[in-house]
Amino acid sequence: MSQPLLMPKATAVWLVDNTALSFDQIAAFCTLHPLEVQGIADGDVASGIMGVNPIQNGQLTKEEIEKGEADPNYRLKLSDPKVRVAAVKRKGPRYTPISRRNERPNAIKWLVRNHPELKDAQIMRLVGTTKSTIESVRENTHWNSANLTAMDPVTLGLCSQIELDLEVKRASKDAGIPNEIAEGTTLLTAEEALARANARQEEYGSQEEDGEGRRNQSHEDLDADSVFSKLKSLKSNADE
């Protein structure tokens, strides 16, 4: 299920009124309790809620409903959305799983060592840490400084390579660092890689053309010398 069901209770009202699905099927699809669905059917629950057609909003198909009506044990499957909704921009610090939180100081040490141009706010966005933790790692005053090992935050799963590249590029631009130096250990974008490959191909092609031209010229010179030598020999034979 790629997206949650929209308005589950209103969807359940519509399914109760317009289909022959069982209460268990509707409850499973709408993430409700079967007794709550039964209350909807009896008019005790959601009496003021207008039903929402899941077929119209693209979250369920008519064929899927027919499958459920034919088999009471069948569980309805939510349809993939036809339109992808952009993810909501995150506000506040990044959430880090508990299993990865003890790795954040190692990631901070890697970022401070390999990308000193990054600002504290950028590091905080990348690994979901605090300013005080960054300062303690940078100044070697962290309580576990002796055991910290610099580790790539992308490898640790704390951020994506795209996010890291974006922050590094922003910091490099603000600091006036050339792109060649700023790239460092980060990956090139697809456009940059394609542009470099095309440039190298053109350079290689021009070198091949120059080499071919020199070889052709040498062949022409060689052919001309041989022709003149033959003419001279013929002339000397004629004089004799």
pLDDT single digits (tens) 179-212: 544 444 444 455 555 566 566 566 655 555 555 5
So what's the pLDDT on residue 139?
92
Q: What is the pTM of this model?
A: 0.39
So what's the pLDDT on residue 185?
44
Sign of CA dihedral 104, 110, 112, 118: negative
Sign of CA dihedral 228, 231, 237, 239: negative
So what's the pLDDT on residue 16?
92
Per-residue pLDDT of the chain (240 residues; tens, 9 = 90+): 456 777 888 999 999 999 999 999 999 999 889 998 988 888 887 777 888 899 988 889 999 999 999 999 999 998 876 655 555 555 555 555 555 667 889 999 999 999 898 999 999 888 888 899 999 999 999 988 889 899 888 888 888 888 888 888 888 887 666 554 444 444 445 555 556 656 656 665 555 555 555 555 555 554 555 655 666 666 565 555
Domain chopping of the chain, boundaries: 8-70, 98-183
Taking only Cα atoms into account, the Rg of the chain, rounded to an integer number of angstroms, comes to: 35
So what's the pLDDT on residue 134?
92
Exposure string of 205-238, with b = 16+ CB inside 10 Å and e = fewer, is: eeeeeeeeeeeeeeeeeeeeeeeeeeeeeeeeee
- Digit-coded pLDDT (tens) for 80-98: 766 555 555 555 555 555 5
